[in-house]
């Protein structure tokens, strides 16, 4: 999950004064003399949350996967198990928003258990830094895959492969929504991770918001605006169906290889196109009718008209496709071979 991959992330607009309940006040952080890091009831030290001593000494750094202003992600190998991991390192002196997001991600992953979420290995605090050890997805992200597809392919990713990516993504969303009462809030191609076995896993839960059992609606300004639903951009209440909108845009991007909305001259023009403009559609002559209908339902402007993740999992488009993880694995293998042996230039 490299941090320096190009994306369409832009700063969200200033929201009008809201009458809906605001998010709870964040608890402060505490660094103790014994070398532990605490936030409320959340505490971690050198032994991590899993109680394994000297975990940092067991990790051999292979290479840097990506870096940002406040964190770095490295590919490391656990000498004990031989397993490759993605290790996110964060300086505790970074800005408070980044710190809150990181702790939120740790809390979510520590209690989540799904084959379709990036697996949590451990998190620990050592020498002024927080380390988050995560499953390493060896085929990169969907964003990487889209960029590697031939520009003349229509659709850019074959429908059976698309169906497998979407089906497994919905498994992850259904688990987040139903079991964890979480809205992902930052679903985009760069946060859909893939493995060479054909597995699809959702990642980057730093800005996920947990909804209580009464389904109280979240109100917030954070997120990746380009993939945000209209209700989120407007500052309205939103819930799980906001993730479904993001999924619809991702499918369109898999079809065309490009972000679905036309390039905007400035930020406000992009916001107006998403909120007030026509909903983007897939080119009818390159995909099946069931896929068209699937995307249309995901991109309903009225949030309540978007089907939930569980309902979409049994949509005709997915049921009619005989795809499997092997379908995706074979596509990724072929793409990797093509990358290693590019065609000769005439």
Q: Is 86 exposed, middle or buried (0-12, 13-18, 19+ CB in 10 A)?
A: buried
Out of 115, 122, 138, 186, the active site residue is: 186
88 vs 130: CA distance, rounded Å: 8
Q: Residue 205 contacts by C-beta under 8 Å, 6 or more apart in sequence?
A: 104, 105, 108, 109, 117, 182, 184
Strand partners, 43: 38
Assess whether 115 carries a catalytic annotation. no
Q: Does residue 63 have a known ligand-binding role?
A: no
28 vs 38: CA distance, rounded Å: 8
**CA-based nearest residue to 245, from 264, 231, 262:** 231
Known binding-site positions for ATP: 88
Annotated binding-site residues read 88
- Active-site positions? 186
């Amino acid at each position: 999950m490299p941090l320096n991959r190009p994306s369409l992330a832009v700063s969200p607009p200033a929201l009008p004064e809201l009458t809906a309940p605001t998010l709870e006040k964040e608890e402060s952080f505490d660094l103790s003399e014994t070398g532990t890091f605490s936030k409320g009831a959340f505490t971690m030290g050198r032994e991590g949350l899993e109680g394994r001593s000297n975990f940092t000494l067991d990790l051999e750094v292979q290479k840097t996967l990506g870096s940002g202003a406040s964190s770095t992600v490295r590919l490391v190998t656990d000498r004990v198990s031989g397993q490759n991991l993605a290790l996110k390192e964060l300086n505790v002196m970074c800005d408070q928003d980044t710190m809150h997001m990181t702790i939120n991600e740790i809390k979510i992953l520590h209690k989540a258990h799904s084959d379709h979420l990036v697996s949590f290995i451990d998190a620990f605090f050592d020498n002024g830094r927080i380390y988050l050890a995560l499953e390493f997805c060896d085929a990169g992200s969907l964003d990487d895959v889209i960029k590697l597809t031939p520009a003349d392919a229509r659709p850019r990713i074959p429908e059976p492969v698309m169906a497998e990516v979407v089906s497994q993504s919905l498994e992850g969303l259904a688990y987040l929504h139903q079991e964890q009462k979480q809205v992902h809030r930052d679903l985009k191609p760069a946060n859909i991770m893939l493995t060479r076995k054909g597995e699809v896993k959702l990642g980057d839960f730093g800005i996920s918001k947990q909804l209580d059992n009464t389904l109280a609606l979240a109100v917030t300004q954070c997120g990746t605006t380009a993939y945000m639903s209209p209700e989120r951009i407007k500052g309205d209440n939103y819930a799980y169906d906001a993730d479904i909108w993001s999924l619809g845009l991702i499918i369109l991007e898999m079809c065309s290889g490009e972000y679905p909305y036309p390039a905007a001259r400035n930020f406000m023009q992009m916001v107006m196109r998403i909120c007030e403009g026509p909903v983007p559609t897939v080119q009818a002559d390159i995909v099946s009718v069931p896929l068209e209908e699937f995307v249309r339902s995901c991109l309903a402007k009225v949030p309540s008209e978007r089907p939930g993740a569980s309902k979409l999992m049994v949509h005709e488009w997915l049921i009619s496709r005989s795809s499997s993880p092997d379908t995706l694995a074979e596509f990724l293998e072929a793409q990797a071979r093509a990358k290693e042996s590019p065609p000769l230039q005439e």
